[in-house]
Amino acid sequence: MFEVQVVLVLAVAATAAAIDFRTGEIPNWLTLPPLAIAPLAYFWLGGTQGLTASLVAIVACGLVPYILFRQDAIGGGDVKLLAALGAIGGLYLGIEAQLFAFLAAAGFAIVLIAWQGSLRATLVTSARIVVNPFLPKSKRRSIDPAGLTAIRLGPAILFGTVVASWGANG
């Protein structure tokens, strides 16, 4: 992977992490330009093959986050950030960054919930979330939104991007 790509994905991820940590949002001014500029840059560098690769990376890196967003599991800024990282860094770096980010977020969430003393209640709620769609409507248990824990994904995305970038250059 080119050094410039690594620097750009790390810069975007680090900026997003800092802003998300502070404000709880990842701004459009950070995520939308890479989604527009990266495909054009790859077209300029690699023709239609470069353009196609960048567009495929955007769709592939944004698909699972978009599904999670539609389920209110993550924010829209997270979706755009992960798609932008794929647009800049390519399909493999984008997918790896996403995988490591979700693993880091899950690990952090487990530690946080255990620290708060609500691990058992959270596991019961998680089981209900998984089982409810398979039950008849009359047997489904309601999910109390107060029992859910929200975390900011930006720092986890930065962690995932660092790990994926390190692996891409190692």
- What is the number of domains present in the chain? 1
Q: Is the pLDDT score of 54 beyond 90? A: yes
What pLDDT was estimated at residue 1? 52
Structural domain containing residue 156: 3-102+152-169
Amino acid 146: pLDDT: 65
Give residue 71's pLDDT: 83
Structural domain contains residue 83: yes
pTM above 0.95, yes or no: no
d(CA 8, CA 169): 14
Q: Is 116 domain-assigned?
A: no
Q: Are 58 and 31 in contact (CB under 8 A)?
A: no
Amino acid symbol at 142 = S
* Domain-located, residue 49: yes
pLDDT tens per residue, range 99-157: 999 999 999 988 888 888 878 877 887 788 888 888 888 888 877 666 667 789 999 99
